[in-house]
Structure 1
């Protein structure tokens, strides 16, 4: 999808007529005015030990996607695409001898180097709590005017996200409907989540990492198809996960997590602002869930660490799912 098409799509989302006005304000942390972790405080020594004690030693499922030139990404607001280039090649290094090792050693020791550049919300990643806010403030009332400088946020940056060890739950909404992929633009409802959990025989618990399968990952190799009007979560479904179920982290196999156009007047991303700014619940996007769904593995140990990008609003991660007894 070209930048022009994406920009037009973003404009359409912004101008769409939603149902009700948004009067939301940022949430206060029950863990105190200095808290930067939000729902991640639900992870404790006891909760980590409990899930790790249930490991059965089976196969490890990789929940991350590959990065490649032309991969899907959110570029509508002008954010950069994933770029990869070679900084050194064996022949080039031998000819230029940048390290001054001499012709003989340069020909003997083959030197390859590479570099990347990308938006932090590229590939499998986790949104930090500073990614979206309301009226100039983020979760727990930290103000951008006080905490956002030229080198990023001084609070809730991606570096504050701890290694995550928790119970993971897959809610296969597409599978529960007998579909390989949810229709374009489909808005997942609270009832959809409840029905899928019932079909799976799975119950949610406070502190879970909850991952939603839409089936969109089947189009991942085709960025245009993947990014075109994807299905996603509705606000009632988000409330079910955060408030009714006590999810610690929520995620999905799509990009932008929520469905568009917005349901809320005056807010083009109400699910993001609700989860991040009001509830303090981080969001994961582009999570690879196809193998879990194929194996019917709906409950597992979730283990993942994100890059400690100081002051950033998101970070790439490579999580894994481990079967449990």
Structure 2
């Protein structure tokens, strides 16, 4: 979290509400995970790898200067990332009744790829489900977040999503990210939104939704990614983007349930997803 107070900003300015906000100070909550070799991920995607093909001293300039450079390789659904609408199909169709086979041209999804995801600067709502249900540490493995759970959370917090918002759902499972395999939850399952919960989200006509888990939705114990009905409801039926592997703990601890949400995906032409570093911005004072 970062607090920003620009030097020389006037204490008050009736002509500029933005300057008023900056003068009072803002806090920026970083909701993205650091990309590290060996971090937990879905087994369906290529792992993150980072290397230094040139290190300091490999080449030294005449003035003594030296530079290092990097090479990375990874799947687009590794670490904190957003699913493009090209990511999931159902019965051969993508969002908007687009043919999945026909949409692929030259190995790229020109129509619904990651490059078509516009930057997001909008209202964000955190639904802290375990806190609302009386278990702030987190939900149990394999727990399904239902429509009733989401409605209860809205009532407890007083923060109902509206059209155009981004809704982030905390399960508390994100606390296990640094544990590696337990976070993936292959045997235990992972808590998350179920099919009817996804329909509740879609009914609010949000722009995107996200969670602190590996696959957004509930994974049954031992089932892995065998069925993903919430992905179908959100991506295919409603055109709602999904952000996964978010870090929501600091935001939840600060009880910040409404904020300015900022996200921009990489313009990876025709890709099915993109790494992202979402931010929650909150004014103070």
TM-score higher than 0.5 here? yes
Q: Is the contact made by 2:211 and 2:245 (CA closer than 8 Å) also made in structure 1? A: yes
| Aligned residue number for residue 165 of structure 1 | 121
- Residue 242 of structure 1 pairs with residue 199 of structure 2: no
Q: How many pairs does the alignment contain? A: 258
In structure 1, stretches of 5+ residues that fail to align are 1-50, 95-100
**Could you tell me how far 1:179 is from its partner in structure 2?**
2.9
Given candidates 154, 157, 168, the residue that maps to 1:200 is 157
1:150 aligns with 2:99: no
SS at match of 1:171: strand
Give SS of 1:315's match: strand
Query: Could you tell me how far apart the structure 2 residues matched to 1:112 and 1:69 are?
Result: 19
Q: Deviations over 1:166-190 (max 9, x none)?
A: 1000000122222312110111011
Q: Distance in 2 between matches of 1:64 and 1:52?
A: 25
Contact 1:71 1:222 in 2 (8 A): no
Tell me how far 1:54 sits from its aligned partner.
Answer: 9.9
More strand by share: 2
The match for 1:268 is 227
CA-CA distance at 1:145 after TM superposition: 2.5
Q: Deviations over 1:5-40 (max 9, x none)?
A: xxxxxxxxxxxxxxxxxxxxxxxxxxxxxxxxxxxx
Residues 93-137 of structure 1, C-alpha deviation per residue, up to 9 Å, x if partnerless? 34xxxxxx5xx44xx112111111111001111101111011222
The alpha-carbon distance between structure 1 residues 53 and 141, as it changes in their structure 2 partners (threshold 3 A), is: farther
What secondary structure, in the 3-state scheme, does the structure 2 residue paired with 1:65 have? coil
Cα distance, 1:270 vs. partner?
1.0
* Residue 109 (1) aligns with residue 65 (2): yes
Structure-1 residue corresponding to 2:166 = 209
1:123 aligns with 2:82: no
Could you tell me which residue of structure 1 aligns to residue 31 of structure 2? Answer: 63
Q: Distance in 2 between matches of 1:52 and 1:299?
A: 18
Could you state the TM-score of these two structures normalised by the residue count of structure 1?
0.75
Residue pair 2:89, 2:100 contacting (<8 A) in 1 also: no
Contact in 2 for aligned 1:299/1:324 (Cα 8 Å) = no
Question: Matched residues in 2 for 1:52 and 1:121: separation?
Answer: 35
Of structures 1 and 2, the one scoring higher in RCO (CA 8 A, sep 6+) is 1
